[in-house]
Amino acid sequence: MPTVMITGANRGLGLEFARQYGADGWTVIGTCRDPFNPGELATIEGDIQVHGLDVANHPQVDHLAKDLNGVAIDVLINNAGIYGPRNYKPEDIDYAAWEEVMRVNVMAPLKVAAAFAGNVAAGDQKKLVTVSSRMGSIADNTSGDFYVYRSSKAAVNAAMVSFAHDTADRGLIVALLHPGWVKTDMGGDGGDLTPTESIARLRKVIAGLGPADNGHFFNHDGSKIPW
């Protein structure tokens, strides 16, 4: 069976990815910041391997890549992310907090992608996806606001399109995904979708990815989102 690696797999969408792939018989490499306290990730069924990883900690990323050297990964999911301060008046922005959001939402996915590209290239499926957000679409920004989160997701989209071009010759399929507005700690209770619904849809999108989809941005229903 294939292997999937998921960052931020201890709660929210990452946990649901782990649950669904695990239930389907995949080997799941689930990473979380505190491997001694992985929450529900420790209790889900299947071939689940838990590893500690703070995605913003580059030496930790390198260390895990060394530990997993030679392990083929069919699908790598850059899922871990933060929203940052929800105080959006331009004059009140907490710039230090914005830097942290950029470290977690932009630099970390690229660092993880670069560190594990060899594992993904060694997999049969060669898919590397990043959970972005429609909030990062500049074309879709018709209401303003949300400076910190929007800019982080727009930036990770830009970084991953470059990564898609730069790794195409190794056969990697790099895509950006929007999960919808989902009821998680980040999405809150008002979300349109449950994690079960969102992840079932995203897994279908991931399953359907082919070489022609390299460097594209997909909604959870499989349609393309404009940059």
Q: Cα separation of 99 and 36, whole Å? A: 28
For 60, the token pair is 């930790």
Of 7-26, binders to ligand NAP (CB under 6 A) are 7-8, 10-14
Binding segment for ligand NAP among 20-28, 52-60, 91-99, 216-224 (CB under 6 A)? 52-60
Q: Cα separation of 61 and 111, whole Å? A: 8
CB 195 within 8 A of CB 174: no
84 binds ligand NAP (CB under 6 A): no
Instruction: Determine the Cα angle at 217 with ends 216 and 222, to 5°.
Output: 105
User: Rg of the chain's alpha carbons, rounded to an integer?
Assistant: 16
- Evaluated on CA atoms 216, 220, 221, 225, the torsion sign reads negative
State which of residues 3, 20, 27, 79 lies at the interface with ligand NAP (CB under 6 A): 79
Binding segment for ligand NAP among 44-52, 88-96, 185-193, 215-223 (CB under 6 A)? 185-193
Binding flags for ligand NAP, 126-165, as an x/- string (CB under 6 A): -----x-x--------------------------------
State which of residues 72, 93, 186, 200 lies at the interface with ligand NAP (CB under 6 A): 186
State which of residues 54, 68, 203, 217 lies at the interface with ligand NAP (CB under 6 A): 54
User: C-beta of 6: minimal distance to ligand NAP in Å?
Assistant: 9
User: C-beta of 64: minimal distance to ligand NAP in Å?
Assistant: 11
Question: Which helix (H) or strand (E) element contains residue 183?
Answer: none
Instruction: Bin 8: left if φ > 0, else alpha if -120 < ψ < 50, else beta.
Output: left
Going by C-alpha positions, the residue among 200, 146, 148, 212 that lies closest to residue 175 is 212
Give the interface with ligand NAP as residue ranges (CB under 6 A). Answer: 7-8, 10-14, 32-33, 53-56, 79-82, 104, 131, 133, 179, 181-182, 184-187, 191
